[in-house]
Amino acid sequence: MKQIFLGADLFDGERIIKDHALVLEDGLIKALVPFSERPHDSEIIDLAGGILSPGFIDIQVNGGGGTLFNEDPTLEGIAAIADAHRRFGTTALLPTVITDHQKIIDDALRATQSAREIRRDIAGIHVEGPFIDVVRKGAHPANYIRALTQADIDHFAEARSGVLLLTVAPNKVTADQITALTRAGIHVSLGHSDATDLEAKAAIDAGARAVTHLFNAMSQCEGRAPGLVGSALADPRVICGLIADGHHVAPTAIIAALAAKGAEGIALISDAMPSAAGGPVHFTLQSRLVRRQNKKLTLDDGTLAGADITMFDAVNYMLSLGIPLAYVLQMATRTPARLIGLEGQIGALRPGYPADIVHLGPDHRLLGVFYGGKRLD
């Protein structure tokens, strides 16, 4: 069945296109055509304004809708998280398991493999830890932090289904280990680390191409000690995940990062916890109470414990800083797709791509989400 979407501007992954129609067929994008050249043998959907964007891609989703992946590393847990976030425009994601007992991580890997067999919105998994630096552990439990071994590398290579994004501390793993991981098809991200800039650069030279939640839980950039932040901002090979919630990163730091990296070097992430996407005010993280106040999540000692946002919230926060709409949408779509190696499959309005689309109003309200061309209730 062919559909024609009319009346809205189109963001194709790089730029905003006006006076065009979006043609869909059998759940896929068939073409972007000038309005005057639109087909007339199809179902017409007049959107009456706003902008159509590819669905958002979230590479760091700990939970949502009341479910935490670490607490429910099952197919059902993944489904609950993905369904909760899809209502807010996220049409592809990596459920994220943080540092924990190896059984929890293995259960999460198996659940992701099962989910990928029946759900195309699950692009893979993000394993954040346990091969991190206890000095920069954040909310990760110290008792499960450990060294990476060759057996771990072999295990992840065998267990990988789709994308496997692994966060490691560059001062706690070797360059050879990072090279081995990347050769096994694993995407390496650097984070939770007190690394020097030289240690970070060695990891990037070895194949790491991402940084986990820039500015948070990592060595900062100082004039004579650039740290992991400095290396990430200086190296064009690296894409930085960014939590845009008004709590994790100050507006000036966000603007500075964009000046250094551009929209192609910053991927918005939610780092969402169970409270996001309609979840409860309070929840437990590995038996520790997490409280929400003014959409800020903290442990009892004040440590930030993830975020209370969806990707739609992140987009709106970035827009509130005056960042151009095309830049913001690129950071929520094409850039994260490129980070996880799926730029040729998702994250753009291009022929052959899934018709997973977000409709934003002129005031950037969320007017609708289309998955496979079908509007979600």
CB atoms within 10 A of CB 283: 22
Contacts of 158 (CB under 8 A, 6+ apart): none
Structural contact between residues 356 and 373, judged by C-beta atoms closer than 8 angstroms: no
* Closest to 32 measured CA to CA, from 50, 17, 46: 17
Q: Taking every pair of C-alpha atoms in the chain, what is the biggest distance, in angstroms? A: 65
Structural contact between residues 47 and 5, judged by C-beta atoms closer than 8 angstroms: yes
Catalytic residue among 12, 58, 121, 271: 271
Strand intervals (E) in 13-105: 16-17, 20-25, 28-34, 43-46, 51-54, 56-61, 63-64, 67-68, 90-98
271 catalytic residue (yes or no): yes
Contacts of 181 (CB under 8 A, 6+ apart): 153, 156, 166, 168, 188, 207
Q: How far apart are CA 144 and CA 66, in angstroms?
A: 24
Q: How far apart are CA 93 and CA 266, in angstroms?
A: 16
Q: At what angle do helices 197-205 and 227-234 cross, to 10 degrees?
A: 40
User: Residue 194, by phi and psi: left (phi above 0), alpha (psi -120 to 50) or beta?
Assistant: alpha
Q: Taking CA 234 as the corner, what is the angle to CA 233 and CA 240, rounded to the nearest 5 degrees?
A: 30
Contacts of 61 (CB under 8 A, 6+ apart): 69, 81, 85, 90, 93, 94, 95, 96, 126, 270, 271, 272
CB atoms within 10 A of CB 117: 10
Q: How far apart are CA 145 and CA 132, in angstroms?
A: 6
Active site residues: 271
